[in-house]
Amino acid sequence: MRTVSVDTSVDGRLDVVLRGELDFTNASQVAKVVKEAIISGRPSSVRVRLAEVTFLDSSGIGLLVRAMKAADEVGADFRVEDPTDKVLDQLRMSGLLEAFGLAQPPADT
């Protein structure tokens, strides 16, 4: 199983799918692949899908931050999509939900 796959859609969006465990053993290499795809492709937006991520440590969170910064460098909109509940909790604890486009609007009371 490949940890990362990258595909450019017809509308100029870069779709990144991450899978499995993203930790100190592979995060640097995955970040390099994603950053190169963003810089060379100069997409209008970047979507990173996390539905198949089973584990994410601080190195994995770091790779998402590096991808977000690379998207910003080329003027692309950046969003993380479909995190598992466990990964969503980790991103919530890191304080990055809003930066990754995952912030929930406040509930009406």
Summarised one tens digit per residue, pLDDT across range 13-72 is: 999 999 999 999 999 999 999 999 999 999 999 999 999 999 999 999 999 999 999 999
Say what the pLDDT of residue 105 is. Answer: 55
Tell whether the model's pLDDT for residue 104 goes beyond 70: no
| Residue 106 covered by a domain | no
| Residue 70 covered by a domain | yes
| Residue 41 covered by a domain | yes
- Rounded to the nearest 10 degrees, how much is the dihedral formed by the CA atoms of 61, 92, 9, 74? -60
| Residue 72 covered by a domain | yes
**Domain limits for position 84:** 4-94
The residue that leads in pLDDT, 10 or 83, is 83
| Residue 105 covered by a domain | no
Looking up residue 19, the CATH number of its domain turns out to be: 3.30.750.24
Count of domains for the chain: 1
Say what the pLDDT of residue 63 is. Answer: 96
**CA-wise closest residue to 31 among 58, 9, 13, 8:** 58
**CA-wise closest residue to 80 among 58, 49, 59, 51:** 49
| Residue 47 covered by a domain | yes
Q: CA-based diameter of the chain, in Å?
A: 46
